[in-house]
Structure 1
Amino acid sequence: MNIDRRQLQQIVKDVADTTIMPLFNNVSRRYKKDGSIVTQADNAMQHALSERLAEICPDIALLGEEMTPAEQQAMLDTGQPLWCLDPIDGTSNFAAGLPFFCVSLALIEQGRVITAVVYDPVRDESFSACLGQGAWLNDAPLLVENVGLTLKRTIAFIDFKRLPEALSTQLVKERPYGSQRNEGSIALELCWLAAGRGHVYLHGGQNIWDYAAADLIVSEAGAYACTLNGEIVFKNTLEQRSSCAAIDKDLYDQWRSYLKVPS
């Protein structure tokens, strides 16, 4: 399916700037059953963006984070093209007034992500990618370079909360990286990795709406990623997926070796 990447970027930007940002630092929140936060901005963004996307692609349904699991699974089971949206990835940051969150939108077709947009409205940065065509930051090509670092000198984006307990403990005790960050937005951390703002990444259980767009951006920028089982990260399912990623092949090999990820 031929979707104009720049048009899609502009739609996401326009809706985010008019829907999310007026509510930043001025929004009520509630807690879902799993303890995660949802705000009126999440719901407003999902509703507004679904309407705009329907104008350009009326036949493509939208799978959003703010749907029930049964609704989400039913959409995946159709096998039809669909949008996969996280209206605000980093909602707890947004609700707390921390300026690190984004909108993540992926177009899934035949079980693959073919187009991706991750928009950071605070910094007005739009990361995007098209399968087999490359990745961009705003309109500049995004292509990683070999940084020539050892693992011990890297900045590592690591979320400990869904890692196996033994691995979390090992990482804290051994600190195989130079320094560690957990900024609170999966999609934006992965995009920052692709932009060279960090060097390695680790997460024990990402949801499809968290990582679908950013995983394509990472791969199209030339970075590397796999699950802790050595599989490709993206899977057209609600099953949570782990991810270990690195900005270049040498660091990827070092990171996988340290984590004992099978080949």
Structure 2
Amino acid sequence: MTSNISINHPFQNDTQWKSLQAGIIELAKKEVLARFEQVIAQEKPDGSLLTEADTEMQKKTQAFLEENWPQYAFLGEESSVDEQEAAMNSDSGCWILDPVDGTSNFAIGIPVYSVSLALMVKGKLVAGLVYDPSRDEIFTARLGQGAELNNKPLIANTAKQALKQCSGIIDFKRLTPELATKLATQCPYSSQRSFGSVCLDWCWIAAGRGQIYLHGAQNIWDYAAGWLILEEAGGYSCDLNNESVVVAKVVKRSAVAATTPDLFAEWQDFLGIH
């Protein structure tokens, strides 16, 4: 967990923190969950899907945040590139929203998707939440104040002590062919899954629902809140170059993570991260 925290923000106050959570949960139930299995999806230029839930959740969330905490800029996945860049460069800090992470699942009736919101101030993630409407689970974290799942402390841990015993959450599609082939042929873990919601991937590692994680390219709205939740839960992460996943830029980043230091070291060693 991060120590020596010096960045002030409204959500160090429990009342405002609970108000933020309640507002996002209410919006997610109304704008996202209510549209589940009633979806018409469009294809975006990058080939990913866009639904009415994405656009309405982003629009309503932005209005909610601007009404209550107008001092922060807003960066949403569905914002324009210029809007995203302007928000990221704001001196006051910015919200980072993925209105529906796992839209491909959402669009075809698979109940594995989430809403992710983080606050970045001075280049540091200071607050984050990921809400899973299908399970009514909310994962939360504040810098230096630990992580929670449904208001109960969340500690990253596992009884599985060796890499070969672990379940991995692995996104093969975005890995290099060489690394994907190595994983497929050598299979260093017990089993592997890919769920389709990056935000939930991070949270489920923090909750021990998988013990190791690998993803080749995710954007800041995909990882921001989940990264902070795993970090504050006591988990470990880096990118494939052994640098921090988090950068205050709208660029895609690789991600490697694990629940415990020993597993993280063994996972890094297998991946050739030094």
TM-score by length of structure 2 reads 0.94
Equivalent positions of 1:40-189 (< 5 A) are 40-189=52-201
C-alpha offsets along residues 61-119 of structure 1, whole Å, 9 cap, x if unaligned?
A: 21000012222112212333110000000000000100000000000100011000100
Contact 2:160 2:166 in 1 (8 A): no
Query: 1:228 aligned to 2:236?
Result: no
Letter in 2 for 1:95: A
Query: After TM superposition, where is structure 1 displaced by more than 4 Å over at least 4 residues in a row?
Result: none
Give the corresponding residue for 2:5: none
Shift of 1:58: 1.7
Please give the secondary structure, in 1, of the residue aligned with 2:128.
strand
User: Of residues 3, 26, 35 in structure 2, which corresponds to 1:14?
Assistant: 26
Give the paired residue count. 262
Query: Would the aligned equivalents of 1:5 and 1:115 in 2 still touch at CA under 8 Å?
Result: no
Q: Which whole-Å deviations, capped at 9, do the CAs of 1:214-260 have from their partners, x for residues lacking one? A: 00000000010000000011110011111100011110010001001
- 3-state SS of paired residue (1:261): coil
* CA–CA distance in structure 1, aligned partners of residues 144 and 210 of structure 2: 24
For each residue in 1:98-147, what CA deviation from the matched residue of structure 2 results, as whole angstroms up to 9, or x when unmatched? Answer: 00000000001000110001000000000000001100001101012252
- Give the stretch that moved more between structures: 162-171 or 52-61: 52-61
Q: Equivalent residue of 2:120, what SS?
A: strand
Partner of 2:221: 209
The SS at the match of 2:217 is strand
1:31 pairs with 2:43: yes
Tell me if the contact between 1:62 and 1:84 (Cα under 8 Å) persists in the aligned partners. Answer: yes
Q: State the AA in 1 paired with 2:31.
A: T
1:2 aligned to which of 10, 27, 36: 10
Confirm or deny: 8 A CA contact 1:79 1:111 kept in the other structure.
Answer: no
Please report the RMSD computed on the Cα atoms of aligned residues, expressed in angstroms: 1.0
Identity across the alignment (%): 45
Q: What letter matches 2:191 in structure 1?
A: S
What are structure 2's unaligned runs of at least 5 residues?
Answer: 1-8
**Per-residue CA distance 1:29-48 (angstroms, 9 max, x = gap):** 10011100010100000011
Match of 1:258 among 248, 253, 270: 270
Q: Deviations over 1:144-190 (max 9, x none)?
A: 22524211110000001111110001101111110000000001011
Structure 1 residue runs of 5 or longer lacking an equivalent are none
